Structure 1
Amino acid sequence: MTRFLINWLLAGFFLDRSRWFLWVPVLYAVGIGAYYSVLWHPSLYWCGLPVFLISLLFFRFVRQREGLLIPVLSLAIVTAGFSGAILRTEWVAAPILQKKSISMFTGIVVQKSAGQKSVRLTLAQPEFELASIPDLKTVRVSTRSDVQSLHPGDKISVKAVLLPPPPPAYPGGYDFQRDSYYKQIGAVGYTISRPEIQTRDAVSLRAQISSMSALLRDKINRYILKNSTETSAGFTMAIMTGDRSHMPKSQLEEMRNSGLAHLLAISGLHMGMIGGIIFFAVRLLLSALPILALNHPIKKWSAIVALIGICFYLAVSGMSISAVRAFLMISMVFLAICFDRTALSLRNLALAALLILVFLPETLLSASFQMSFAAVFCLIAGYERWGHLLILKSNQRGVLRRFTYYFLGIFLTSLIASFATAPFAIFHFGQFSVIGVAANLIAVPIMGFWVMPMILIAFCLMPFGLAAVPLELAGDGISMILFIAHYASGFTASVLKVGVLPISGLVVLILAFFWFFIWRHSVRFLALGAAPFILALVLIAERPSILFSQSGALFAINDQKYGTAASTFRSERFERERWTQLLGIQEFERLTNWKTPIFRCDGTGCVYLKNTKVITFLNNAHTIKTDCDRADILISRVPIPKGCRNPSTIVDKFSLWREGGHALYLDEKGNARLETVNSLRGDRPWVPLVYRKWLEVNR
């Protein structure tokens, strides 16, 4: 029986030999994921060891046993991903600010994002007056000063309050410090003086190139603000330059809750629309000239012009991950046309994914990368199997039939993309949009037939100062999309909040998903066997009973019987919002209004009774001795002396400062398990130095 199963598996693998390449980016991603899952910082020596071992295996065994070829090659790809992440981490290494500082400094503006209340400036090559600040490569600060005369490429001087990049809001949450590390942003903060221009000449070649791109985006943004309505300006900037900072928070929330947030990110939809409009417009014009249409490959010429057009669009988009991924995919479509190849295929998508992961391995962990590739992969896989039937039906006679199948295609596309991105939306945001399919069915045609053509015309006329009319027309279409988002998000069940999906369940789901869709023969049905494991991992996933922020100013209790409540609504708003996503709730109650017999507060702190455990929250040092005598678990905003021996778990001011936010898990028997932000990250270069030094001492 075992031999039969092995032969059946091998037969399926070799029948799908043409699909083997699709596993290359998957295996490479496994290696990258392995790098980010370890709790120590692998040195460069690890890059050579896998190569040595695989070479030894190859020359010793593979020559004699061909059956080992596939496992060895798979191992080689996994270790290549691991090594690639190491090399990328070392390549971008730069100093990081470790504590709050106030200093006068100079820097070159490389990016300017115009928000509604403040302007965010990204400054390169900063030089600080305060000697204790390290030589940071990039600083990002926000300012409320009038900086209309300030442009990318200017060297300015300003006084600012500088802070280390923010840590995750809870253990296992999105790592902003890691994201800043790979962007070489060593500090964030806000200005306390008006920025003064020193010179308008960028120093280095890299700064000049970056400044030229940012200056172009800044000019486009200023033109949009001048010639668009206040309602549509932020949306227009988002789809033209990738800058969403000018969109009101209410609009962003409504777009997200209605499932239309993907219309704001410059991704495959926008890049495909721009490229497609250029391609068909140029081909239509060339086909009007018989001498060209009959004697020259005008289809290939149109593809080349469209490729140049999306290159420009990428340059002004800010080159986000979604934009780069879309550019690679769409450019492969036009290159395939030039070389008489299949335009859309999983092989092209796999190549685009591999290119991004090789050069930017950290993007594997971003929601943008995961959701965009998941959506495109499912769409190509779905239409690869059943798309030809839809095309044959839509090409039959009758305008009404064509429009019917067009909207059917939009419906199926929205449905497939929604299901493909739902696990990632749950994992990153603890929610997904239920009404998104219906909203997309109306909004996407408006975007494709109205907004994007006007945006393309605006791009073409903007150098001549004649883009006001197309921007106004695009604004009318954008207003309709915003109305759809507002109406759809108003439904009570428009967004389903379920809490964050555990990473183990997501990984198993992704691998099973790839297994099912990459293979085309019966072997792919083995992926269905992963369903019970995925369900079990989701059902046994724990939610923290108590969450404590790094500052100690905010804590929250999650009780299965009495609900969830937070200690304050005055501060730590961002952390509180992230906690609601983790727990899958709309909002916390106020602990001051939480009428339960198991919780009480006074002027010195609070006491929470849970499964015979006494948990105290201490605000000051006056009752340390009393709490040390009665508490099983002690959480304190002040330092706790070493003589406090009764509590089995102690979290004090120094623990929070050193290890970041805490999450406490309590089971039905009263057993406690503590997780911290930094204990789940380990000794990594983006983790604060104080924790890494503490690890060295306590090893």
Structure 2
Amino acid sequence: MGAGWGFPKGRGALERWLEAERGQLPLWLPIAFGGGITAWFVLDDARQWAGFLLAALGLALLGAILPGRAGRALLVAGLLLAAGCGSIWWRAQSVSAPVLARPEVVAFDADVVRVDALTARGLVRLVLAPVARADLPPKLRVNVEAGAVPAGMAAGARVTLRARLVPPPGPSVPGAYDFRRVAWFDGIGATGKALDGIRLRRAPARPGQDLRAALSAHIESRLPSSAGGIASALATGDEGAISEADSEAMRRAGLAHLLSVSGLHVTAVTGAAMLVVLRLLALSPWLALRVRLPLVAAAAGALAAIGYTWLTGGQVPTIRSCVAALLVLVALSLGREALTLRLVAAGAMVVLLLWPESLAGPSFQLSFTAVAAIVALHESPHMRRWFEAREEGLARRIARGAGSLLLTGILVELALMPIGLFHFHKGGVYGAVANIVAIPLTTFVVMPLEALALIADLVGAGAPFWWLTGKAMALLLWIAHAVADAPGSVAALPVMPAGAFAAMVAGGLWIGLWRTRVRMLGLVPLCIGALWAAITPGPDLLITGDGRHAALRMADGSFALLRDRAGDFTRQVLSENGGVEADALAALADSADARCSPDLCVVEVVRGGRHWRIAATRSAYPVAWRQLVAVCAASDVVVSERRLPRACHPRWLRLDRGNLTQTGGTAVSFADGSVRRVRNRGRHPWLDPPTVEPPFSAAKGDRR
């Protein structure tokens, strides 16, 4: 008989282990809270959510009954699991707002809530609040051609426009980005594009108050193209002027984090403010002797962090970094160690309490995983002994510092790889090497030069500093493109099961947060998850939710598109989820295995030791009834953007407009016969939201 709760020997061993790890137990508080949030996203409906809450409270009750530290751990874990599930459930209901029922063309008046210039795309993105229109969602997002935006456009203005609006789209295919969920928590009930010019009916109450937009425009006027876009992103968080080619190079090189205002940027601003204030105040002997200058410098750093967060738009990643910076400053003021895993856990807990939905997004996962990996590595006694400062020659100090940066970069890349592959289906391989140069270049060269240029512009002397900033930006972009274009620079994975991702996350947390030898048990789920992800076959056929576009894996592993004229966004989605590069997508009509007319394609592939025949319509024009029925009977899978005749009976799958409307985008693997669909039976609020729709005349865009 084994030892358990009823056997003192088993309880004693568990208690001794928890006692040895007592300093690490607080690190699991946000993990337990996040576990409750995760359960709400994974489970389907209110009945299952309520069941989870009862189970978590039952776990807490069990912990209250059991003695010792283990009982207290169960009690706290159960309460936090229930609190996490309850918080995201409440949050999802509290942001409830109606969504547009179907695509419409509408003319309406609206107040401007936010203005984002997408300079590289020639667009301006507006977040609008329709005025006196109960038949429209309370908040919309509309793209407008840059030339059609009137002068004086800013938050607080009132405009008149005519736009084609659509409900927030869900994922095109399984595993793709779910904008519908993100829009729900942002309160956006429709997106679209303005069809005509926008008329400004009322200027903002205080013209020129949008400091963020004005600063972005000023920076972009000093630096051309993507250099100005990156400089603007560093100062205000506005990435709209960065070209898609440069943005993609930054992502492939593992440098995309430099474009998103987060910990690196907030830390640089906070540290610079503290250094300047401390050095200036130290010039006064009277102040140096009578005032705690580090405390004053910390207060200045806190003000700088808060001001920078406000200037960059107050986005969740920036606020998250600001909270972490403030916690560091509090620790410094109290004489505590500044960077510890407890501090990281406290920051994560604050963010999850305020925005529990952020746990499901890659931004939260990437940023906190990176910081936790760095801190855990440098808290390790082995790392401290190896990389601690010591009396040695300059060359050895440089080599030791470079080794520390390289090891840290490799660890961070390994820690972030599962997250990147799960969300984006690809990850940079050489990011650790690129960041060794790019992070110091950005932190100690680009940002200080840009700050000096902006300050010098106050007296009209910024040109030399802008020239130097441009050269530094050119070097940064050269690094990005050189790394991105290197052979094997990107690891691609078409699909990662959620279970495999969860196993790797659990294993990584177990290894990183415990300190005794038991942490090595985390290698078991970590390796199982990695192996599971590696052996999971990618999809052989991807079909978008409207049935218009399909991508088929060919014998050589490449993908071929049903329609030659698929847009860039569609090509990107299909390539990412297929695990190939977008420029590697060929036309199905050019394949030797396909027989295509302008209206219909039939292709045969061999998978799993058998032949599969796939038929797909390519246009909205009808195919002769008898011919179509005969093709259906001879095919295993039939795909169409329209409803197929009732007499169409393929041997396995019929994916026409009627079926795809119910299931959404579909991924098919012939080898194991699996079919994954976007739409499940869940009752999350964004899947079945309250809807509104304008009357017929307004829907046609008629002005009242």
**TM-score where L is the length of structure 2:** 0.88
| Alpha-carbon offset, residue 447 of structure 1 | 1.4
Determine if the alignment matches structure 1 residue 389 to structure 2 residue 385. yes
| Paired AA for residue 547 in structure 1 | L
| Paired AA for residue 337 in structure 2 | T
| Alpha-carbon distance between aligned partners in 1 of 2:95 and 2:467, rounded to the nearest angstrom | 42
- Give the counterpart of 1:11 among 10, 13, 16: 16
| Alpha-carbon distance between aligned partners in 2 of 1:491 and 1:634, rounded to the nearest angstrom | 40
Determine if the alignment matches structure 1 residue 197 to structure 2 residue 200. yes
Give the share of equivalent positions with the same residue, in percent.
25
Greater alpha carbon shift after TM alignment, 227-236 vs 134-143: 134-143
Determine if the alignment matches structure 1 residue 616 to structure 2 residue 625. no
| Paired AA for residue 160 in structure 1 | A
1:686 paired residue number: 686
1:140 paired residue number: 142
Indicate if the aligned counterparts of 1:500 and 1:581 stay in contact, CA closer than 8 A: no
**Residues 633-654 of structure 1, C-alpha deviations (whole Å, 9 max, x = no match):** 3222321344445644221112
| Alpha-carbon offset, residue 528 of structure 1 | 2.0
| Alpha-carbon offset, residue 554 of structure 1 | 1.2
| Alpha-carbon distance between aligned partners in 1 of 2:63 and 2:506, rounded to the nearest angstrom | 26
| Paired AA for residue 629 in structure 2 | K
2:644 paired residue number: 640
| Alpha-carbon distance between aligned partners in 1 of 2:527 and 2:200, rounded to the nearest angstrom | 62
Determine if the alignment matches structure 1 residue 151 to structure 2 residue 154. yes
Indicate if the aligned counterparts of 1:378 and 1:417 stay in contact, CA closer than 8 A: yes
Indicate if the aligned counterparts of 2:540 and 2:552 stay in contact, CA closer than 8 A: yes
* 1:90–1:688 CA distance, 2 compared to 1 (3 A): closer
Secondary structure at 2:164's aligned position in 1?
Answer: strand
| Structure 2, gaps ≥5 residues long | 4-8, 692-704
Indicate if the aligned counterparts of 1:275 and 1:306 stay in contact, CA closer than 8 A: yes
| Alpha-carbon offset, residue 135 of structure 1 | 3.4
| Pairing 1:198-597 to 2, within 5 Å after superposition | 198-201=201-204, 215-385=210-380, 386-389=382-385, 392-393=388-389, 395-396=390-391, 400-458=395-453, 470-559=465-554, 563-586=558-581, 587-596=584-593
| Paired AA for residue 687 in structure 1 | L
* 1:424–1:652 CA distance, 2 compared to 1 (3 A): same
* 1:459–1:354 CA distance, 2 compared to 1 (3 A): farther
| Alpha-carbon distance between aligned partners in 2 of 1:334 and 1:418, rounded to the nearest angstrom | 28
* 1:645–1:477 CA distance, 2 compared to 1 (3 A): closer
* 1:500–1:54 CA distance, 2 compared to 1 (3 A): closer
| Alpha-carbon distance between aligned partners in 1 of 2:220 and 2:556, rounded to the nearest angstrom | 51
| Alpha-carbon distance between aligned partners in 2 of 1:103 and 1:146, rounded to the nearest angstrom | 18
Indicate if the aligned counterparts of 2:175 and 2:423 stay in contact, CA closer than 8 A: no
Greater alpha carbon shift after TM alignment, 404-413 vs 296-305: 404-413
Indicate if the aligned counterparts of 1:12 and 1:522 stay in contact, CA closer than 8 A: no
| Alpha-carbon offset, residue 182 of structure 1 | 0.8
Secondary structure at 2:388's aligned position in 1?
Answer: helix
**Residues 262-317 of structure 1, C-alpha deviations (whole Å, 9 max, x = no match):** 11111111111111122122222222322222332111111110111111111111
| Alpha-carbon distance between aligned partners in 2 of 1:678 and 1:415, rounded to the nearest angstrom | 37
Greater alpha carbon shift after TM alignment, 3-12 vs 506-515: 3-12
1:24 paired residue number: 29
1:653 paired residue number: 657
Secondary structure at 2:539's aligned position in 1?
Answer: coil
| Paired AA for residue 669 in structure 2 | Y
| Alpha-carbon distance between aligned partners in 2 of 1:103 and 1:176, rounded to the nearest angstrom | 22
| Alpha-carbon distance between aligned partners in 2 of 1:399 and 1:277, rounded to the nearest angstrom | 25
1:104 paired residue number: 107
| Pairing 1:5-84 to 2, within 5 Å after superposition | 7-41=12-46, 49=54, 53=58, 57=62, 61-62=65-66, 67-84=70-87
Secondary structure at 1:185's aligned position in 2?
Answer: coil
Determine if the alignment matches structure 1 residue 160 to structure 2 residue 163. yes
| Alpha-carbon distance between aligned partners in 2 of 1:474 and 1:643, rounded to the nearest angstrom | 67
| Alpha-carbon distance between aligned partners in 2 of 1:605 and 1:285, rounded to the nearest angstrom | 75
Indicate if the aligned counterparts of 2:53 and 2:82 stay in contact, CA closer than 8 A: no
Secondary structure at 1:520's aligned position in 2?
Answer: coil
| Alpha-carbon distance between aligned partners in 2 of 1:545 and 1:690, rounded to the nearest angstrom | 36
2:677 paired residue number: 676
Indicate if the aligned counterparts of 2:175 and 2:577 stay in contact, CA closer than 8 A: no
| Alpha-carbon distance between aligned partners in 1 of 2:590 and 2:184, rounded to the nearest angstrom | 41
| Alpha-carbon offset, residue 82 of structure 1 | 0.9
**Residues 60-88 of structure 1, C-alpha deviations (whole Å, 9 max, x = no match):** x35x7875332232122112111111011
- Backbone CA RMSD of aligned residues: 2.9
| Alpha-carbon distance between aligned partners in 1 of 2:216 and 2:107, rounded to the nearest angstrom | 29
| Alpha-carbon distance between aligned partners in 1 of 2:393 and 2:204, rounded to the nearest angstrom | 61
Secondary structure at 1:17's aligned position in 2?
Answer: coil
Indicate if the aligned counterparts of 2:60 and 2:79 stay in contact, CA closer than 8 A: no
| Pairing 1:173-184 to 2, within 5 Å after superposition | 173-184=176-187
- Give the counterpart of 1:664 among 663, 668, 673: 668
| Paired AA for residue 45 in structure 2 | W
2:91 paired residue number: 88
| Alpha-carbon offset, residue 163 of structure 1 | 1.4
Indicate if the aligned counterparts of 1:221 and 1:241 stay in contact, CA closer than 8 A: yes
| Alpha-carbon distance between aligned partners in 1 of 2:86 and 2:255, rounded to the nearest angstrom | 37
2:190 paired residue number: 187
| Alpha-carbon distance between aligned partners in 2 of 1:646 and 1:509, rounded to the nearest angstrom | 39
| Alpha-carbon distance between aligned partners in 1 of 2:450 and 2:47, rounded to the nearest angstrom | 47
| Paired AA for residue 123 in structure 2 | V
* 1:650–1:180 CA distance, 2 compared to 1 (3 A): same
Indicate if the aligned counterparts of 1:50 and 1:76 stay in contact, CA closer than 8 A: no
| Alpha-carbon distance between aligned partners in 2 of 1:174 and 1:436, rounded to the nearest angstrom | 23
**Residues 532-583 of structure 1, C-alpha deviations (whole Å, 9 max, x = no match):** 4224412442322211112222111124556421112312431321222222
Indicate if the aligned counterparts of 1:152 and 1:212 stay in contact, CA closer than 8 A: no
**Residues 372-428 of structure 1, C-alpha deviations (whole Å, 9 max, x = no match):** 1111000000011145335633x5365555544443333233222222211111112
| Alpha-carbon offset, residue 505 of structure 1 | 1.4
| Alpha-carbon distance between aligned partners in 2 of 1:21 and 1:650, rounded to the nearest angstrom | 52
| Alpha-carbon offset, residue 94 of structure 1 | 0.8
* 1:562–1:180 CA distance, 2 compared to 1 (3 A): closer
| Alpha-carbon distance between aligned partners in 2 of 1:167 and 1:128, rounded to the nearest angstrom | 28
* 1:44–1:397 CA distance, 2 compared to 1 (3 A): closer
| Alpha-carbon offset, residue 604 of structure 1 | 4.5
Indicate if the aligned counterparts of 1:260 and 1:436 stay in contact, CA closer than 8 A: yes
| Alpha-carbon distance between aligned partners in 2 of 1:580 and 1:111, rounded to the nearest angstrom | 32
| Paired AA for residue 33 in structure 1 | T
| Structure 1, gaps ≥5 residues long | 203-207, 692-699
| Alpha-carbon distance between aligned partners in 1 of 2:508 and 2:57, rounded to the nearest angstrom | 33
| Alpha-carbon offset, residue 143 of structure 1 | 2.7
Indicate if the aligned counterparts of 1:112 and 1:119 stay in contact, CA closer than 8 A: no
| Alpha-carbon offset, residue 479 of structure 1 | 1.8
| Paired AA for residue 381 in structure 1 | A
* 1:166–1:455 CA distance, 2 compared to 1 (3 A): same
* 1:370–1:8 CA distance, 2 compared to 1 (3 A): same
Indicate if the aligned counterparts of 1:367 and 1:424 stay in contact, CA closer than 8 A: yes
Greater alpha carbon shift after TM alignment, 383-392 vs 324-333: 383-392
